[in-house]
Structure 1
Amino acid sequence: MDIQRHIQHVFQDRDDIPLFYIESGSRLWGMASPDSDYDVRGFHLPSKAQYFDYQKHRDLIEIMDGDFDFVSFDLDKMFGLLAKSNPTVLEWVRAHVVYFNQFAGWSPFVDGLLAKIDYKALYFHYLSLAKGGMSVMQTPTNFTYKKVFYSIRGLLSAELAAKQQMPALKITELFQQITPNDPLRQWGEDYLEIKQQQREKALLSELEQQAVTRLLTNKIADLTAHEPNKGPHAVALQRYLTDYSFQLKQHYYG
């Protein structure tokens, strides 16, 4: 799929200014299936007329066209989430699959941003994802290899965040950050072989379900006992984003 062409098509009849777009979700994490959608995410500046208008306008653009799933936040919404160390948009700025980038000085911006984030926000986000996945798996027909794997990704990411370490986005690199004898890492690495055999949606046997549930529950208990402290950089992060917002708007709006 020609993602650049699709992005250009989104903005061809709009006066908004596209800034930065990446691949998100399973393709970014190295967990995609052959039929996975292209989850394109990023942010834009609203048109000059919209920016100076006294009326409030919608702060995102959403397009669903076949396998092309596109979401774009305006700059204020994007930076507002970054100011809270929102883990979802932090994955966007860290993405290695970049389709479009008109953000001047991107690499230095990201380096400065990541030096100021609150790891506690990442910890709770990934832990919540894992718990949510476990809740879904309480229904026997939902206890699939894929859902277990997503919970494992969340727990391993939360473990690293608790240690003030940035969890890798690509799943194989995430495993390398975890001790080799960790049973959840071992289960996850075995899952990759299952995925290659196109059996990711298969249900686990009852014995496997019980064993995996114990592993996930034990990891959650351990993580809950090691909750990280809130980061000290909240004010510095807000100032940092304010400065970049001013520079971008001054450049594009004059």
Structure 2
Amino acid sequence: MNIEKNIQQLFEKRQDIPLFYIESGSRLWGMASPDSDYDVRGFHLPSKDQYFDYKKYRDLIEIMDGDFDFVSYDLDKMFGLLAKSNPTVLEWVRAHIVYFNAFPEWQTFRDGLIERVDYSALYHHYLSLAKGGMKVMQTADNFTYKKVFYSIRGLMSAELATQEVMPELLITDLFAQVSEHDPLRHWAEDYLEIKKQQKEKAQLPEVEQAAILNLLEIKIEQLAAKEMQKADRREGLACYLTEYSRHLKQYYY
């Protein structure tokens, strides 16, 4: 699939200004299944007419066309989430699979943003993500390789956040950040290739479910003992984003 062409064709029909688009989800994390979609994410500036109009317009673009799953936030929505150190959009900013980038001084912006991140937001998000995945996998026909690996990834990322270490996006790089003696890492490394060969809804064999569930629960208990308090970085991050927002809008409008 030619993602760059799809993005180009999409904006040929619109007046919005595309800024930055990446691949997210399982393809970004290096654990895609044969039937995984292309989850393209990023952000744009509204058209000049919309920006100067008094009326409110929708702050996102959503397109689902076969395997092409596209979501774009407008700059204000994107920066509002970044101001809260939202881990999902931080992953977009940190992505290594980039399809389109018209954001001036991107590397400078990205580096300054990551320096100001509140790691407690990452900790709570990734821990919640893992717990949610575990709840779902224990309901009927939902104990999938996909759910298990999403939970593993969440718990490893939460653990690194407690150390104020930015979790890597590529799953094999994430493993390398975790202790080589971690039983969860051993399990995940053994099963990663199996997961990548399975379809999205493939179930983990019943005989193996209890073992991985036990490893996940142990990791959750360990993390619960490391409860993180919110860092006082929000004001500095907000000022940083305000400055870049002005810079970008002056550049384009």
Q: Is the 8 A contact 2:34 2:196 kept in 1?
A: no
- Residue 205 of structure 1 deviates from its aligned partner by 4.2
Q: Residue 223 of structure 1: SS of its match in structure 2?
A: helix
Residues 242 and 182 of structure 1: CA distance in aligned 2, closer, same or farther (over 3 Å): same
Q: Is the 8 A contact 1:130 1:151 kept in 2?
A: yes
Residues 103 and 199 of structure 1: CA distance in aligned 2, closer, same or farther (over 3 Å): closer
Q: Is the 8 A contact 2:35 2:200 kept in 1?
A: no
Residues 247 and 173 of structure 1: CA distance in aligned 2, closer, same or farther (over 3 Å): same
CA distance in 2, matches of 1:74, 1:199: 33
Who is 1:65 aligned against?
65
Corresponding position: 1:121 with 2:117: no
Q: Residue 167 of structure 1: SS of its match in structure 2?
A: coil
- Residue 195 of structure 1 deviates from its aligned partner by 2.5
Residues 51 and 190 of structure 1: CA distance in aligned 2, closer, same or farther (over 3 Å): same
CA distance in 1, matches of 2:17, 2:199: 42
Bigger mean CA deviation after superposition, 27-36 or 103-112: 27-36
Q: Residue 62 of structure 1: SS of its match in structure 2?
A: strand
Q: Residue 39 of structure 1: SS of its match in structure 2?
A: strand
Q: Is the 8 A contact 1:4 1:99 kept in 2?
A: yes
CA distance in 1, matches of 2:251, 2:193: 49
1:50-199 → structure 2 map (5 Å cutoff): 50-198=50-198
Q: Is the 8 A contact 2:31 2:196 kept in 1?
A: no
- Residue 176 of structure 1 deviates from its aligned partner by 0.1
Q: Is the 8 A contact 1:63 1:71 kept in 2?
A: yes
TM-score by length of 2: 0.96
Bigger mean CA deviation after superposition, 167-176 or 196-205: 196-205
- Residue 140 of structure 1 deviates from its aligned partner by 4.5
Bigger mean CA deviation after superposition, 45-54 or 223-232: 223-232
- Residue 189 of structure 1 deviates from its aligned partner by 0.4
Q: Residue 141 of structure 2: SS of its match in structure 1?
A: helix
- Residue 58 of structure 1 deviates from its aligned partner by 0.2
- Residue 36 of structure 1 deviates from its aligned partner by 1.2
Q: Residue 142 of structure 1: SS of its match in structure 2?
A: coil
CA distance in 2, matches of 1:57, 1:201: 37
AA aligned opposite 1:84: K
Q: Is the 8 A contact 1:149 1:191 kept in 2?
A: no
Q: Is the 8 A contact 1:20 1:101 kept in 2?
A: yes
Name the Cα RMSD after superposition: 1.4
How many equivalent residue pairs?
253
Q: 1:94-124 CA deviation, whole Å, 9 max, x = no partner?
A: 0000000000000010000000011111111
Q: Is the 8 A contact 2:19 2:43 kept in 1?
A: yes
Identity, % of aligned positions: 71
Corresponding position: 1:248 with 2:248: yes
> Structure 1: which 5+ residue stretches go unaligned?
none
- Residue 92 of structure 1 deviates from its aligned partner by 0.1
- Residue 66 of structure 1 deviates from its aligned partner by 1.1
> Structure 2: which 5+ residue stretches go unaligned?
none
CA distance in 2, matches of 1:94, 1:78: 14
Who is 1:212 aligned against?
212
- Residue 14 of structure 1 deviates from its aligned partner by 1.1
1:229-248 → structure 2 map (5 Å cutoff): 229-248=229-248
TM-score by length of 1: 0.96
CA distance in 2, matches of 1:23, 1:203: 25
Q: Is the 8 A contact 1:24 1:95 kept in 2?
A: yes
CA distance in 1, matches of 2:111, 2:167: 15
